[in-house]
Structure 1
Amino acid sequence: MKLLAPGPFFDVLADRGTGTTVHLSRPLDIADDGRTTYDIPDLAHLVSQAAGWLEGLGVTPGDRVAVIKPNHWDYVLLACAAARIGAVPALISDRLPVETLQVLLKRLDAKALVTTSATLAAARGAETDLTAFTRRTLTLDAPAPGAIPLADVRGHRTPPPRPRPDDLTLAIMHTSGTTGIPKLVRHSARTLIHRIAADEARRLPLVSTRRADTVAQAASYAHGRGLAWTISVFWLAPRAAVILDAYDARLAEPVLRAHPPTVLEAAPSAFVRWQPLAASPDNPFHDVRLYVNAFDAVHPPTVRTFLSATRRRLPLWVQVWGQSETGPLTFRCLTRRSVRATGERHPTTRDLGRTVPGKAGLRVVDPTTLQPVGRGRPGLVQARTRTLCAGYVSEPERMRAKLSGPWFTTGDLGLITRSGRLLLLDREVDTIPDGSCVEIEDVIHDRLPEVVEAVVLGRASGLPQPVLVTRDGTLDPGAWQQAVTDLPPLGEPTVLSLDQLPLTATGKVRRQELRDRLLDGAPPYGTGRWT
């Protein structure tokens, strides 16, 4: 199946008569009418209008357009608008530290920046002028020093589509940045659309979107998943799509109740924050037949809670593992039965399943020699896939260092079982001696229901440091000791509030920043060579 690239995508859907209705958790930043409901022709018109704004800004085919703004689905619509005129959208989360935004904008050397006056003001508060790193800046909400307001380019004629060749860079997105400065990843239409999105746009039993579905998504739309999800899901023409811009349960609950989903995809961080809502008798997840989590592994009690929340007889949870550079590499379907056991030290959600046959290959190698090790032995995970990105912006040597012939080094440690399943151990930089931070964190979540977030920080010398966020801000010392009695030795836990955790746009913990803050910059046990 060959899907169309993003530029004319919504026009084609409109011509097909696709009847999907879109419900938004809040109005789009690129629209001034306050609407939260759209049909496909509305979206096609909005994308074509936005393409005119960019052309009015002076953007031409091949130019890079950076987008930095509050999280919402219009990241994807702006990417479609840029692609429509042959430009290259570069989607960057405004949740990144200002110092990181500076580095990424310098690497990008974009012709234009699309942002908001509030984003620019926040950067100026940190003594940074983001407009200095690009030739033109467009603000979507209000005028700002050094920027062109949206009113000045509204009404510019809608340009005809100017698609780029399939093998040229279509879009740029960044990695999560849990261990430092994120990498800017270049994907082409061939990898991101014709392979990643097209594979998901096939109608498969149980795991594909159906025409009668209400599909909900809660993600960081600056990441590549937002664009691939949009193309694949809207191609399958569900009855409705519900787009959530935040993970806060108080903001998400009214939207989910108004439009109960039958398919729900979200970042693990969103699922964790909605867990108390899912545990309530009158929850909005009662009709969900399929849950999907991407971006990161999810903890067993979270899966258990959501599978119990639905009234469907045989709901499925699909856990997908991959990276921004590779797209999806493995998947596993979880059921109520597969997560039934509680409190035990077993793989559960760390068992990432198998690769899709014919789509990707995995091997585990010795981290020092890069020679393959036998099944059942831990090592560095490498992937071979037809969806590998074209490289990193301004860091070609970093990409070359991760390649061993056709094999890409993921930076994750794991092992492949005798049956061919991948068990995740840790990021190499985050590992600890004689143990797995991921396993310890899973077990802590399973044994201490009051824990919202558990992070174990490895260090080159000294015991690993557990950092916990609990629902009421306290931790029972006796319960803690009982929970970790059979685990590798750990330091005394540090209890923080959720707002004290440095998080990425997808809700992952920025471990290096946390290590710098709590451990005085103590070096990790891992080498960090593969970050």
Structure 2
Amino acid sequence: MKRLDVATLFDTLADRHSPTTAYFSRPLDIDPGAAAALGVADLAGLVEDASGWLAAAGAGPGDRVAIVKDNHWDIVLLAMAAVRIGAVPAPLAAHLAPATLGTLLARLQPGLAVLDGAAAERFAAVGIEPTARRVLLLDGPPEVLPGAVPLSDVRGRRAPAPRRRRDDEPLLVVHTSGTTGTPKLVVHSGATIVRRLIGFEARRWPVLSSRPDDTVAAATSFVHGRAFAWTASVFWLRPHAVGLIADHDPDRAGPFLREHPPTTLEALPATYVRWQHLARGEGGTDVFGRVRLYISTFDAVHPPAVRTFLAASGHRRPVWLQGWGQSETGPLTFRLLTRASVAEAGGRSPTTRDLGRPVPGRTRLSVVDPATLRPVPRGRPGLILARTPALGLGYVGEPERWAAKAPGRWWNTEDIGMKTRTGSVRVLDREIDSVPGMSCVEVEDVVDDRIPGVLECVVLRPAEGPPLPVVVTESGRLDLETWRRATADLPTMTDPLVMAWDDLPRTGTGKVRRPELRARLLGTPRCVPHPRTAGPEAAEL
């Protein structure tokens, strides 16, 4: 296979006469022609043009380029343009609070910050100036940020020749979801993200890989490293079409999916939850009837949602690929779910927290005692440590935090889980959210499965006393007797608090920010993990 270079990915594909067409749920924000579809030659030209903009705005080799704009796939194209000129792109989620974005920019110290008008206005509204040597404003009035370079001033500038870099040099900075606080900034190199992650996915694997006749769709957070890896690996395999969904609101995404029905679909877990009504009934086959493969990452999806989407497919044997990993490591395990594996049987509620086995030949996992870091037997909960050649290079601005999470040769995922007798991994909770004697996330699975109309259940650990369940329902109401019957055999909890979907604080990937919700409802923002009593050498397993 010819070397995959993300800087010139679309140029290479155009030279190979790739037939892939990219369709957009709305035109790209940076596309001057506002086209609703582009071929790979058009995409190559757009990335080259954007690299000229960045260079003219002052970015050069080795500079970090922060990208803060509304969620759309052009974030990935801007990142590729930065790589093309030898810079290191750092996409940041525009939905983050200006103060949080200010913290991340202060850590990055970018040579150039690329902002859209909405992000610039949010900074200006709170009196925060983005920390960057120069600022490129993609749209909006330039006076919002005095000194910013408007895109019109650099559009049409000649692009410099593509620059190559060594595999061990920084290539991309990605940020974590930020479920437990301010997101961390992870540096990846060409070796970790291109050779180890993209290179692995860009091979033709049975069932999992894109095929020439596929329409591959994605509804994700395009600032995260997953979008970067997904783009390169999917386009490299040259499917018939790629659908890029910027707005996940079902009323907007639904018509696009009907016009371009996918055969494989990757979406955020929270997006799948919001789209369940699109998949139900006869209308579901209009939207998802051709899907042979669903993919979810970032978090597990509750069994009823998986069941609903698999039922909506008209494919004979559709499968659901559930991956578990982190921004720092890439995928660590994966599991294929089928209609049979998520079916209820004999009163048993299936769980999607069994996340499969480590990626063969690439990942090693160990479950250890949280206090001593000594291995525990299979079937006993503990802290999950991982070893993978795809581990990033470090955290920007937080080297001591990285060192604390990488004892010896192992990476501390900060997840509590267990290895089953068959060798698969069952993730039970984040360490700071864990409650002795129960798995909050498995309880959430059971609640979602037993009570129709529940969209989300979040079990919060208080400083003392029984956990508090927070429930989101389709109707906004929950019958207390129904709740008590459904949870009678579960660990003791308080009566539930019903909230609206939009009232839950979420990350850009749809995960609930449990510490923030806990602080709001219980006044306890953070539960302290088990103290460590062993040094890094204890993790050398």
Q: TM-score, normalised by structure 2?
A: 0.95
Aligned-pair CA distance for 1:119: 1.0
CA contact under 8 A between 1:105 and 1:134: conserved in structure 2?
yes
2:28 aligned residue: 28
Matches within 5 A, 1:452-491: 452-491=455-494
1:110 aligned residue: 110
For 1:183-228, what per-residue CA distance to the aligned partner results, in whole angstroms no more than 9, with x for missing partners? Answer: 0000011110111011111111111110000000010010000000
1:274 aligned residue: 275
Matches within 5 A, 1:249-328: 249-283=250-284, 284-328=287-331
Distance 2:247 2:352 in 1: 24
Q: Which runs of 5+ in 1 are unaligned?
A: none
1:199 aligned residue: 200
Instruction: Choose the corresponding residue for 1:385, options 373, 384, 388.
Output: 388
Name the CA shift for 1:60/1:343 in 2 (closer, same or farther; >3 Å).
farther
Distance 2:267 2:347 in 1: 26
1:217 partner SS: strand
Output the amino acid matched with 2:105: L
For 1:88-107, what per-residue CA distance to the aligned partner results, in whole angstroms no more than 9, with x for missing partners? Answer: 00010011122211110110
Distance 1:116 1:397 in 2: 33
Instruction: Choose the corresponding residue for 2:368, options 365, 368, 371.
Output: 365
Distance 1:96 1:522 in 2: 18
Output the amino acid matched with 1:191: T
Output the amino acid matched with 1:201: A
Name the CA shift for 1:217/1:440 in 2 (closer, same or farther; >3 Å).
same
For 1:495-520, what per-residue CA distance to the aligned partner results, in whole angstroms no more than 9, with x for missing partners? Answer: 11111111100100111111111112
Aligned-pair CA distance for 1:3: 4.1
Segment of structure 1 superposing worse, 158-167 or 518-527: 518-527
Distance 2:460 2:531 in 1: 14
Aligned-pair CA distance for 1:125: 2.2
Distance 2:161 2:76 in 1: 19
Output the amino acid matched with 2:492: P
Matches within 5 A, 1:9-20: 9-20=9-20
Output the amino acid matched with 2:478: L
1:53 aligned residue: 53
Q: How many corresponding residue pairs?
A: 527
Is 2:410 aligned against 1:410? no
Output the amino acid matched with 2:212: R
Instruction: Choose the corresponding residue for 2:132, options 131, 134, 142.
Output: 134
1:515 partner SS: helix
Distance 2:39 2:531 in 1: 46
2:288 partner SS: coil
Is 2:443 aligned against 1:440? yes
1:186 aligned residue: 187
CA contact under 8 A between 1:431 and 1:525: conserved in structure 2?
no
Name the CA shift for 1:274/1:201 in 2 (closer, same or farther; >3 Å).
same
Distance 1:179 1:511 in 2: 7
Name the CA shift for 1:100/1:528 in 2 (closer, same or farther; >3 Å).
farther
1:501 aligned residue: 504
Is 2:424 aligned against 1:421? yes
Q: Which runs of 5+ in 2 are unaligned?
A: 533-541
Q: TM-score, normalised by structure 1?
A: 0.97
For 1:420-445, what per-residue CA distance to the aligned partner results, in whole angstroms no more than 9, with x for missing partners? Answer: 10011000011112101100110111
Name the CA shift for 1:126/1:470 in 2 (closer, same or farther; >3 Å).
farther
Is 2:519 aligned against 1:521? no
Instruction: Choose the corresponding residue for 1:451, options 450, 454, 457.
Output: 454
CA contact under 8 A between 1:249 and 1:273: conserved in structure 2?
yes
Aligned-pair CA distance for 1:23: 0.5
Output the amino acid matched with 2:69: K
Name the CA shift for 1:31/1:522 in 2 (closer, same or farther; >3 Å).
closer
Name the CA shift for 1:3/1:412 in 2 (closer, same or farther; >3 Å).
farther
For 1:70-117, what per-residue CA distance to the aligned partner results, in whole angstroms no more than 9, with x for missing partners? Answer: 001011000100000000000100111222111101100001110112
Aligned-pair CA distance for 1:246: 2.2
1:87 aligned residue: 87
Aligned-pair CA distance for 1:127: 3.4
Aligned-pair CA distance for 1:123: 2.5
1:8 partner SS: helix
2:535 aligned residue: none
Cα RMSD between the aligned structures?
Answer: 1.4
Segment of structure 1 superposing worse, 480-489 or 82-91: 480-489
Name the CA shift for 1:527/1:75 in 2 (closer, same or farther; >3 Å).
farther
For 1:447-477, what per-residue CA distance to the aligned partner results, in whole angstroms no more than 9, with x for missing partners? Answer: 1121111111112312211111111111111
Is 2:162 aligned against 1:161? yes
1:350 partner SS: coil
Distance 2:371 2:317 in 1: 45
2:352 partner SS: helix
